[in-house]
Amino acid sequence: MLRPRVRSRFGSGSRSFRREHLPSDFEKNAGDMGGIGSGRRSTGAPRRYVDECPWIDILELHHRGLLHPTSGAKFSCSLVLVGGVHDGDTAWCVNGRVELDTVVLSNSVVAESEDQGPLEQRVHLEWTQCRFGGRRPWLLCPGRRTAQEPCGRRVTRLYETARSFVCRRCNSLPYRSQWEDADTRLLTRAQRVRVRLGGAPFIGRPFPPRPKGMHRTTYFRLLRIDRSANEVIRRRVAKTKREIRGWRRRLKKLKRLCRAQNSRSLGQRSIKEKGD
């Protein structure tokens, strides 16, 4: 039996090894469980995506003029569903108020969930100078990287999970596009284009007209995205039709085989009866 040969790490030569030379326990005792590399690896999709969590955007509040130090204004951010059966329904709503370099957030009211009681969380603000004048606000993430080290990242959005607002990295929230193929990402982009132009997110319907003030170059670029999405749908429909025809041919072949088997069994039975 030939022995496998591997190249040495410290030279150009080669050396042979046997099975007993390989580590069997990787420096673990018999009673040690868990650790690096142990356990089953998760291969399925994550439980939640970024667009499924309630979020707060500090730039939106800044554009609405609610971040004045002495304003003490109250705000409310919500997500309204567009299109489909739940058109116009509110998915979630986040309430809060603005204080001196601090934003006080309340737990969101999520549709189809039980009320868990009021909760307030203070998030500090940080301002940076823009290149061409003015200032830009940032939210300092109140989460923790480890048990001893706080996060403190400057972000524009905080997402609510487990009744607390932290950044996307602390929540381990992936984007939905990271788990989609190229065709699905294109279809999602075409739906967003239709909603941006004031239409419903249904690709089969006529493309919305050009809004007032939009350049024709921009409108035609968005129109090309929608046409590419329509081509993806046609390709998928054609592929599904081919698969259906293939399954029909297989079913017909299976039926013929079953009839032939039945006729053969009946013929053998009749021959046996005549012989008896």
Q: Where are the domains of the chain?
A: 50-176, 180-267
The dihedral built from the CA positions of residue 23, 24, 29 and 33, taken in this order, carries a sign that is positive
Query: Exposure string (b/e) for 79-104, b if CB count within 10 Å is 16 or more?
Result: beebeeeeeeeebbbbbbbbeeeebe
Contact between residue 51 and residue 157 where contact means Cβ atoms under 8 Å apart? no
The whole-number pLDDT of residue 118 equals: 57
In three-state secondary structure terms, 46 is coil
Query: Exposure string (b/e) for 182-221, b if CB count within 10 Å is 16 or more?
Result: eeeebbeebbebbeebebebebeeebbeeeeeeeeeebee
Residue type, 140: L
Print pLDDT tens along the chain (276 aa). Answer: 444 444 434 344 444 444 444 444 444 444 455 444 445 545 555 677 887 788 888 888 888 887 776 556 677 666 655 444 445 555 667 777 887 778 887 765 554 444 555 577 888 888 899 998 888 989 899 888 777 788 889 999 888 877 788 888 888 888 888 888 888 889 989 988 998 898 888 888 899 999 999 999 999 999 999 999 999 999 999 999 999 999 999 999 998 888 888 887 877 777 666 666
The whole-number pLDDT of residue 85 equals: 44
**Residue 256 exposed, middle or buried by CB count within 10 Å (0-12, 13-18, 19+):** exposed
- Backbone phi and psi for residue 19, each to the nearest 5 degrees, phi listed first: -65, -35
Neighbours of 136 (CB within 10 A): 15
CA gap 155, 126 in Å, rounded: 10
The whole-number pLDDT of residue 57 equals: 86
